[in-house]
Amino acid sequence: MFTGYLVGGALFAIAQSAAGVTYTESQVEFIVLVGYLGPLLVMGFVWVKNYGYGAPLLVGTTATTCWFIVYFFFVHDNPANVGAVTGDGSVAYTVSVAALVAMSLVTALTGTWLWYCESDGFREAVDNAIRPTDARE
C-alpha cells in the first residue's frame, strides 16, 4: 500500500517534469513536506509498531495530501491544473495525478483501518458514531 503511494509520487514527479508543469505559491513545499516526508516519517512509527502516533498521522498526512491534490490539480485554476497542462506530457501528467489521488485514498483508508484495529478509543468512537450505545442495549 505505502509502496504504491511512493511509486505514484515518483510517477507524478516524472510526469510533472516531462509536461513542464509550473507550480504556484507553496505547492512544491506542501507536496514535499506533507505529501512525501510526512508519510515517510509516519511509516517509521508504524514500522516500530507505534500505532498510537503512526496510524492517525498516516491518515492525516495522506488524506490532507489527497485533498490538496484534488483541489489544486483538478479544481483550482492555476498552471498546475490538469486542464491547463498541454503538450506531449499532459496525458501522463493527468494519469499520474489521478493515480496519486487513488493511492492517497487507499493509504488513508488503510491507515484508518490500522487505527481502528489498534486503538480502543478510536474504535469505540467509530462504533458509537455508527451505532450509538443506546441502540445496542
The closest alpha carbon to 91, from 14, 25, 37, 15, belongs to 15
The predicted model scores a pTM of 0.86
CB atoms inside a 10 Å sphere around CB 16: 22
The domain in which residue 51 lies consists of 2-136
Identify residue 131 by its one-letter amino acid code: R
Position 69 scores a pLDDT of: 93
The closest alpha carbon to 1, from 55, 64, 49, 67, belongs to 55
Q: What is the dihedral of CA 80, 8, 64, 42, to 10 degrees?
A: -140
Q: Domain count of the chain?
A: 1
pLDDT for 10-56, tens place per residue?
Answer: 888 898 888 888 887 788 889 889 888 999 999 999 999 999 999 99
63 grid coordinates: 488524506
Stretch 91-116: mean pLDDT: 94
Q: Is the dihedral of CA 120, 125, 129, 133 positive or negative?
A: positive
